[in-house]
Chain A
Amino acid sequence: MTVEKKFNETVLRLVDEDITLMDVDAFVFYARTDLQLGTGIGNAITMRGGPGVQEELDKIGTAQVGQAVLTSAGKLKAKNIIHAVGPTFQEADTESKLQKTTVAVLAAAEKNQVQKLAFPPMGSGFYGIAPDQSAQVMLATISAHLKNKTGLKEVFICARDPRDMKPFSARLQAMS
């Protein structure tokens, strides 16, 4: 069952997809401040997308929590990757930092005329943000953004794990 909601002309949809295989204008990678792709999804980007993404990141250098930077997506289907540095491991003010990071992603997407954008459940899993907290902050921030003028047409949240899918799905369904 696909869960989706429409905000004005934009669809916000939950999908059980591998984010690095999405055919979108941009997808979001939950990045580190040193902008090293590392393991996990970073490893999938390197393996499937080639070394170019890391090379672009190396030129940028570093980024701070709450910032988002854009690179190409190498050989991946997506055109771009938005590397968003969010809060990790119970750090102070996780919620407001996560919101700020989500806002930074949306701003980067608008600036680069992104129409199709895919998010992961930001910070959930390895970085220890509770899936429900991630769902609450992301959905509130994204929906607020979509209620204003936007170039975004489709926004996906790729929740492969049931522990993410459940809270995201419940919260999205409960939204008016």
Chain B
Amino acid sequence: MASRPRSYKAQKVIDRLGQKLNRQVVGSLAACVHCGMCTESCHYVLANPDDPTFAPAYKADRLRKLFKRHYDWTGRVLPWWVNAQSVYTDEELQELKDIVFGKCTNCRRCSVNCPMGVDFATFNRMARGLLVHVGIMPEGVAAVSKDQWEIGNQMGVLKEDYLETVEWMSDEVVDEMGDDKAAIPMDKKDVNIVYTINPREIKYDPRTIANAAKIFYAAGESWTMPSEGWDMTNFGLFSGDDDLGGAVARRVYDKVHDLNGKILVMSECGHGYRSTRCEGPNWAGYDIDFEMESSVVTMLRYIKEGRIRVDKSKNPGAFTYHDSCNFARSCGMFEEPRELLNLVTNDFREMYPNRAENYCCTGGGGAMSMAEYTPQRLKSAKVKADQLRATGAKYVVTSCHNCEDGLNDLIKHYKLDMEVTQLVNLVAEALIVDKKEAVAEVAAKAAPAAELAGYTILVVDDEPDMREFLTTVLEDNGATVLTAADGDLGLEMARTHKPDLMTLDLSMPGTDGAKVYETMRKEHDLKGIKVCVVTGKPELRKLIYDRDIQRPEGYLDKPIAEDSLLLNLRKILEVGSEKS
């Protein structure tokens, strides 16, 4: 019988599989006895009980068949007996892509529930890597990977924008503390702490940087931020590309080494922590000559050692904690965040199940960048929404930026009355510093009333309440405000008035907000206008990741807090080269 022809890429995938097999992977591929105990662990299964294709063992079997066919003697000799099966076409590889990227967040919940020790998430990651190697991946994954390979961070933040943003935040902290010593040091040598962050903080949530700076200042820490190698996140963990993982980790380690820092501290980011602290040294083949620590541990140390004092009454309300899969299940950070949370709040309510058994935020494994799977992702988030709702808490705290986005999306989708925050914000809020009156949010409260004077801002939103809210806040702060109730009018007014900035609601009737955004980016005369997307629609997060359209300068989730709105708009208007 003539053998079936195989596509070039399919052959490459099979060859690469052979190179990637190690004992751990082979063990996991061989050990499954199909007992089904992992099935109910998976949030995708819970949301799709009638669809067996979501079961971890089913997904794993797609890879297992391939392994058996080519690398296990039983499958080579008796393929029909062990159900071995090869791949032949690019279409089959695309199908595989939809499984390994679209039906699994690599959360490892099934892994900890398997009595046979099968770590499906590990070989799912390996399978992603096989596909990425031949260029088969979701577009968002390609866009983000390319940014991290070539610009050095996941969000394509240029060096000047990074430096300017940090300097801007530094000035805010100095003003607030009334002390030049509160400035954020850059590239200072021989320090105790080199502080690395997630680029999302620079791009869309800089208040966490200022809050960390306040805490370091209050603790009298010798610290610095690095001008290079500052992104401790690592898309290699998600894309399965160990080369990217190694290159990114090395940049961070090299810089800490050059600065002669004693401890590399990572801000609250689950996958960043896992990549940099746990996986990176292997990927990079690096001999680490410094300590590594999560900022959660650093903040906890400060309080325990009496280096900072906190007042928990500054954080009123009920709080729950979401364990990030990477931070908690994969790296064992269960108790430290809880201890810290209890030190800075009065009403902590545990979420069930929790710790290693917690459910994924559903935005893990790079899912936030894969727009095509968003409906599936949000559907699978039901169990998470139920967990959150049952706590009765107003705030969910998480030590992960990915989880923050994932949770924000599902909170909107399931209409929960909750907000997401991080420990760094709560610790900063609770700080007692000598100049007590000075310790307010770095955000807008610190901004004098006319901070937006001289700027014209066009508010495009179909909700009258939202238009009024935005107009009032912006006018109170000195801006000239124009408004438009739909996308077409918004575009027309943008053409006529050339505002400095447009706030754009994405979920309006009529011309779709996403279309308006595309026009803003493609039409010659509109390109120079900065855009801050304001959305209540998780599906439109794709604008941040789509490869062919420049990312918006700002991205705010509804509902918007006034301080966050002002801080972000000021940052967009005052910082950065993104003026095209």
Cα(A55)–Cα(B144), bound, Å: 23
Q: B134 and A89: CB pair below 8 A?
A: yes
Across the two chains, which residue of chain B brings its CB closest to A48?
B577
**Chain A residues numbered 41-73 whose CB sits less than 8 Å from any CB in chain B:** 41-44, 46-48, 50-51, 55
| A75 → chain B closest CB, angstroms | 9
Cα(A43)–Cα(B578), bound, Å: 11
**Chain B residues numbered 123-167 whose CB sits less than 8 Å from any CB in chain A:** 133-135, 142-147, 149-151, 156, 158-159
Contact of B147 among A18, A40, A51 (CB under 8 A): A40
Contact of A39 among B8, B12, B147, B527 (CB under 8 A): B147
Across the two chains, which residue of chain B brings its CB closest to A58?
B522
B580 an interface residue at 8 Å Cβ cutoff? yes
| B24 → chain A closest CB, angstroms | 24
A90 an interface residue at 8 Å Cβ cutoff? yes
Complex contacts, B243 vs chain A, CB 8 Å: 128, 163
Contact of A43 among B142, B156, B251, B524 (CB under 8 A): B156
B434 an interface residue at 8 Å Cβ cutoff? no
Across the two chains, which residue of chain A brings its CB closest to B136?
A89
The tally of residues in A whose CB lies under 8 Å from a CB in B reads 26
Q: A47-B578, A90-B12, A92-B8 are in contact. Are A36 and B547 (CB under 8 A)?
A: yes
| Consensus secondary structure, chain A interface | loop
Q: A46-B550, A55-B524, A126-B146 are in contact. Are A88 and B135 (CB under 8 A)?
A: yes
B277 an interface residue at 8 Å Cβ cutoff? no
Cα(A162)–Cα(B257), bound, Å: 15
Complex contacts, A91 vs chain B, CB 8 Å: 8
B64 an interface residue at 8 Å Cβ cutoff? no
Cα(A44)–Cα(B161), bound, Å: 11
Q: A126-B146, A126-B149 are in contact. Are A40 and B156 (CB under 8 A)?
A: yes
The tally of residues in B whose CB lies under 8 Å from a CB in A reads 33
Cα(A86)–Cα(B241), bound, Å: 21
Q: B133 and A128: CB pair below 8 A?
A: yes
Cα(A124)–Cα(B8), bound, Å: 21
Q: A46 and B146: CB pair below 8 A?
A: no
Contact of B146 among A38, A55, A161 (CB under 8 A): A38
B573 an interface residue at 8 Å Cβ cutoff? no
Q: B524 and A126: CB pair below 8 A?
A: no
Complex contacts, B548 vs chain A, CB 8 Å: 36, 38
Complex contacts, A48 vs chain B, CB 8 Å: 158, 577
B432 an interface residue at 8 Å Cβ cutoff? no
**Chain A residues numbered 90-145 whose CB sits less than 8 Å from any CB in chain B:** 90-92, 125-126, 128
Q: B8 and A126: CB pair below 8 A?
A: no
| A83 → chain B closest CB, angstroms | 15
Q: A40 and B550: CB pair below 8 A?
A: no
Q: B577 and A47: CB pair below 8 A?
A: yes
Q: A41 and B250: CB pair below 8 A?
A: no
Complex contacts, A125 vs chain B, CB 8 Å: 149-150, 247
Q: A39 and B144: CB pair below 8 A?
A: yes
**Chain B residues numbered 214-261 whose CB sits less than 8 Å from any CB in chain A:** 243-244, 246-247, 250-251, 254
| B17 → chain A closest CB, angstroms | 14
Q: A51 and B145: CB pair below 8 A?
A: no
Q: A40 and B133: CB pair below 8 A?
A: no
Cα(A44)–Cα(B147), bound, Å: 9
Complex contacts, B144 vs chain A, CB 8 Å: 39
Q: Mark B62-103, 1 if CB is under 8 A from A, else 0.
A: 000000000000000000000000000000000000000000
Q: A162 and B550: CB pair below 8 A?
A: no
Q: B547 and A41: CB pair below 8 A?
A: no
Cα(A137)–Cα(B133), bound, Å: 20
Complex contacts, B547 vs chain A, CB 8 Å: 36, 38-39
Q: A39 and B143: CB pair below 8 A?
A: yes
Q: B143 and A38: CB pair below 8 A?
A: yes
Q: B149 and A43: CB pair below 8 A?
A: no
Complex contacts, A50 vs chain B, CB 8 Å: 580
Q: A41 and B8: CB pair below 8 A?
A: no
Q: A46-B580, A126-B145, A163-B247 are in contact. Are A89 and B150 (CB under 8 A)?
A: no
| A25 → chain B closest CB, angstroms | 22
Q: B580 and A41: CB pair below 8 A?
A: no
Across the two chains, which residue of chain A brings its CB closest to B154?
A39
Q: B134 and A90: CB pair below 8 A?
A: yes
Question: Can you name 30 A-B residue pairings with CB atoms under 8 Å?
Answer: A36-B547, A39-B143, A39-B146, A39-B147, A39-B547, A40-B156, A41-B151, A42-B146, A44-B156, A44-B158, A46-B580, A47-B156, A47-B580, A48-B158, A50-B580, A55-B524, A88-B135, A89-B134, A89-B135, A90-B9, A90-B133, A125-B149, A125-B150, A126-B142, A126-B145, A126-B146, A126-B149, A128-B135, A163-B243, A163-B250
Of all A-B residue pairs in the complex, the 3 with the closest CB atoms, nearest first, are: A89-B135, A40-B150, A40-B146
Interface on B for A, CB 8 Å cutoff?
Answer: 8-9, 12, 133-135, 142-147, 149-151, 156, 158-159, 243-244, 246-247, 250-251, 254, 524, 527, 547-548, 550, 577-578, 580
Can you add 12 more A-B contacts, CB < 8 Å, to A39-B150, A39-B547? A39-B146, A39-B151, A40-B146, A40-B156, A47-B578, A125-B149, A125-B150, A126-B145, A126-B146, A126-B150, A126-B244, A162-B254
